[in-house]
Structure 1
Amino acid sequence: MSFKAKLESYINTYDQQGYLQGNLLIADKTGILLEQSFGLASIEFNIANTFDTKYQIGSLTKAFTSMAVLLLHQKGYLSIDDSINTYLDNSPNGDKITIYHCMTCTSGIPDFASLEDFWETTMRLSWTLDDMLDLFKNLPLEFEPGSQFAYSNSGYLVLTKIVEVVSGRSYAQFLQEHIFTPLNMTNTGCVNEVDIISNLASSYSYWEKEINTPQTNNSFPLGAYGLYSTTKDLYLWDQALRRHELISKDLTKLMFTINQGSYACGWDITKINGQLCRQHFGDISGFVNSIKQFETDEFTVIFLSNLDLIPVSVITKEIGQLKFDSSFNATLPRIQPTFPVLLEQFVGLYEIENFSSFEIVADEDLFLIVPKLYDVPYKLKLKHFHSDNKKSVFKTEKINETLVFIHQKKDTFQKIICTDYYGMTRVAKKIC
């Protein structure tokens, strides 16, 4: 089966099951292969996602911040090997932390998003950039700069400040003038507390149905995770990076070169089916997004979603597997109505050894309560797929997961086999 046929089957099956939400763009060296929208940009007003819908892109922002720094480096206004104290005042340990350390998350600066009360309080408050820097600059380093990798939003706020100090422009202005306008990225910018952004999607979480999600105050994400964009604009960005339109070939190579772990300058570098892939995941206030850039065939997958449950990184990876692994088949069986089962026999608390626990409850239908990203719990309807004397099979709503209950006798199970959206299969046991 050709890649195009496998892709169409994959997209159609996932769409029919309700597993897609947001905008998806797939391209290769011949141009855009697929650009498709799924679900609603606004549930409140019943407005569909379209190609013009904008999404907050979370940590995909970091690659743009790295580009801003490299542009200043290329013009000779700074060196990425300079210490951050060259440009910032009164930063303890700043003499031994370089700009490059911040770009590669090897600075040792604690991540402000991991500080106590951040998710409950700090993220909801209005902060100036300087206030945010003061929040973490006096904290002890987690390790000697350059010695190891630890993902840090804090380092990217330091870079934001340096861009502003060196250029004399705000972060938003600098990116607009030196990246977005030159690349004709007319639907990309930096969010703030005041400006209304036309065509910006609303964002959601999930508890039995879509619900509102806690919102990060837009005063401070800036160069760490503060941009919005569209799939089409991010494709322009993808093409500019591949063609060295903003910085030299050597600096582009540096941007994509791993320092520690698998992290380069605002990009994670990996291999999928033996193919080199530059990627990043973004997550903010119910928006989740993923970009994957393969070198082979200039293959690119971009998925922006306004529902935080959607496993965008998994879906973009699976599309890469469809492209580069002839044996990979992600076609799903269609869920058809089956004969009734006694729901109460499945209700209970379950445990996967050395991993996590989940709960199944009954309220006219069966529901799975399970932790996902950052251990946030979600309540998902279980759709009955199949039953016989040996087993009962359920699929979850909204995401591609399966529970198989192997029967032993009435109301008890020999084992429960759980397959999550990563394709990981584990055995669970009922504990009460």
Structure 2
Amino acid sequence: MQLLRFTFENHRSFRDEATLDLTRPTLKTLRPSKGTTWADHIHHVDGIYGANASGKTNVLDALHYMLGAIGSSATSWLEKPQFPRAPFALIPGQMTAPATFELEFIVSGKRYAYRFATDADGVTEESLHVVSTRWKEVFVRNADGRVKGLKRIPHVARRELALSRAAQFNHETVTPIWEALMRRFDLYHVGDDEVNARLGRIARQLQERSLRLDDLVTLAQIADTGITNIEVEEHAIPPQLARLITHMLTPTADDVQDEQPDQSSEEERDLSNFIARNLFFRHGTNSGRLRHSDESTGTMAWLALGTAVVSALRNGRVLVVDELGSSLHPQLSHLIIDWFEDPSVNTTGAQLVFTSHDMTLLDAGRGDREKREQVWFVEKDSDGVSELFNLADFPLQKGSNIVKQYLEGRFGGVPYTVPSLIHKLLNPRTGEEE
């Protein structure tokens, strides 16, 4: 799967329409020209830069919201008291205005465009188109939930997407599209919670043998962490503890009294079979083991993100990373980008979209046109409205020092600091006298 464009409007700090375009200007027709492939006409890496609170993470959040709606609007979202949405909140009227989301992407060599719009009550419009000789409608639905183009699904609820409902019925036409959108995107969020969740997944995959231990050790060695071996240790919950936990969760005292001491409930058996997995790391040949909590933050961040990178490169996924470089050495961040841009490594057409403060990551250097197309900025105006724009929009001379100009604020996307206010913080009386 390859991502071509993502367009959204009225989501969080983005009041107006914004488009993240991963296509190159060489793509002038609906399909690649003769002798070329999609890989020749798309970016495999795009970076989004901006000051803190400018809204760059909200670009990724809009994508996360869209994928969440596709995956859950016909299931868990129906149980929520209100239809989930996050419109621009600083203008009262904007809270009730429609929000729109659109993806253009490639699945199995075909180009698709999927779009939907929402308001406070649910979905107001939805459509899926595919390129044949021109754009062709696959299905369309309106605000009343009436669907045209999907056999056996003439109507859906106001709060669910027709694509999501069709996937629940395993609809032969659109289920492969739904599965590609669900399985070919991987969103990696910044923070310790994400790292810990990924490490837990790694331990589970190692135990299930869906991830090879040698691969994880190799990943650790790439970063020169000093790790020579990794082990997974299991601890089954003792039956007595499982029984105690079950009794504590029993809703009434009568239920506990009715239960015979020698009987094991289904809940007890489930708890007894619960496995707590732990990763242990060895350094050198004769050293003892260290728990992951004893390893450096950078090492754990590398393993967590590195496994996501390898999975994306192996399976042709779109990896979306918030704050690439957080807790990582800059050389490792550069290495990840190099892998995605190297066709001998990235043989599946995988893509990386990231946010960062490090302008050097994409090696925009001194004005290479193709590199400029891969650099995006987000800036927020005085009304709190974020705008997404591309470095290639600026008239730059060949040889321009882009990094220097960015740091000087030539392109926006940098904070406008007031360092002199430190005196007010250190000397409160000064502010009172003024």
- Report the TM-score, using the length of structure 1 for normalisation: 0.24
Larger proportion of helix: 2
Larger proportion of strand: 1
- Structure with bigger gyration radius: 2
- Report the TM-score, using the length of structure 2 for normalisation: 0.23
Q: Which has the higher contact order (CA 8 A, sep 6+)?
A: 2
